[in-house]
Structure formats: C-alpha cells, structure tokens
Structure 1
C-alpha cells in the first residue's frame, strides 16, 4: 500500500490511495519553540512495516526546518530517539 504523507497543523498524517488516514504522529505545541510528541498511531494492518519510523523521520526534518525542539511523551518516540542518538539535539532538555 502506497502512503502519502501530509504535514498538518500539529501532526504528520499518512493517507492511503483512497485518502483514508492510516497513520499519524501528533505533536501539539508546548510553546513557540517546543512541541510535545504525544501519539504515534499506525493502523493495525500496517504495523511492523516501519510506518511509525517514517513518521518520525519526517518529523525530524520538519523540526529542523522549523527550528523547534520536542518533548517526548509517546513511548514509541522515546524508543525511536534512543535508537537514533544523532537526532538527540532535537529533544528538549
């Protein structure tokens, strides 16, 4: 299944070819410089295929572009950032 990723207000969403939302990474703003990665949600039929990691990779690019940092509330995001220390500079102290 081909997914199309879209940047929306406080989330990155993956849509399938029919425009159905299949996965998302939600990160509401804490303040002007910081967001809180609250949820990574992937449709059950797509789990284990690296979709969550793709969302986080797109999130990293967006945070660098927007010059923002992240608080990590989502357990999946915490684990992903632990496994990708090269992106640790984006985690708020």
Structure 2
C-alpha cells in the first residue's frame, strides 16, 4: 500500500493497494471544493480490488486525512454515505 494522496489540481484523493494477484491497484474519490469542505462525489476501486476491503481502508485513510487537515467531508456518493453510516465513530469529520 502506498501513501494516501490529495491531487488538488484534479480534485481527487487516491491510494494504491496490493490486490490478491500481487498487482497494485488504485482506489480514488472525486470531490468538489467548498471552502474547508470536500463533497465526496464518487468513490471507485479498480476491478482487481473490488471485494478486498481496499475501498474501506481508503475511506479510513480519507477520514484520517480530513481530520489531520481540518477538512470537513460531505458524502454524496452512495458508497461513502453507506461507509459513514457503518462507521459512526468517524462522524467527527462530516460537515
């Protein structure tokens, strides 16, 4: 796994993970900027990572990044909304 990245010019967060085949795959989230808030528009994992838990680990890294950067998140993507409902302990980063 490589470090979580905020590609501000692309308004995208991304992180690489090792898949079950040993190959590196990526999970990413596109976002919109509204002051100190990031609206999470879409979360996606490359096909090889689906079902491996990589997207959930990515969401945890995204929450940790938001917390450390004093950024608030507004999930709009169905996956992000569902993840935050399953992880109420991460609600402190929500706008």
Q: Secondary structure at the match of 2:44?
A: strand
Q: 1: CA distance between counterparts of 2:43 and 2:88?
A: 19
What is the root-mean-square deviation of aligned Cα atoms in Å?
2.0
Aligned to 1:74: 77
Distance 1:86 1:13 in 2: 22
Asked if 2 retains the 8 angstrom alpha-carbon contact of 1:37 and 1:70, the reply is yes
Give 2:15's aligned residue: 13
Q: 2:49 aligns with which of 46, 51, 71?
A: 46
Q: Once the 2 structures are TM-superposed, how far is the Cα of residue 80 of structure 1 from its aligned partner?
A: 0.4
TM-score when scaled to structure 1?
Answer: 0.79
Aligned to 2:91: 88
Q: Alpha-carbon deviation of 1:15?
A: 6.0
Task: Give the Å deviation of 1:14.
Answer: 1.8
Structure having the larger proportion of residues in strand: 2
For 1:26-61, what per-residue CA distance to the aligned partner results, in whole angstroms no more than 9, with x for missing partners?
223122x10011111111121010011011010011
Structure 2: segments with no counterpart, 5+ residues: none
TM-score (ref. length: structure 2): 0.78
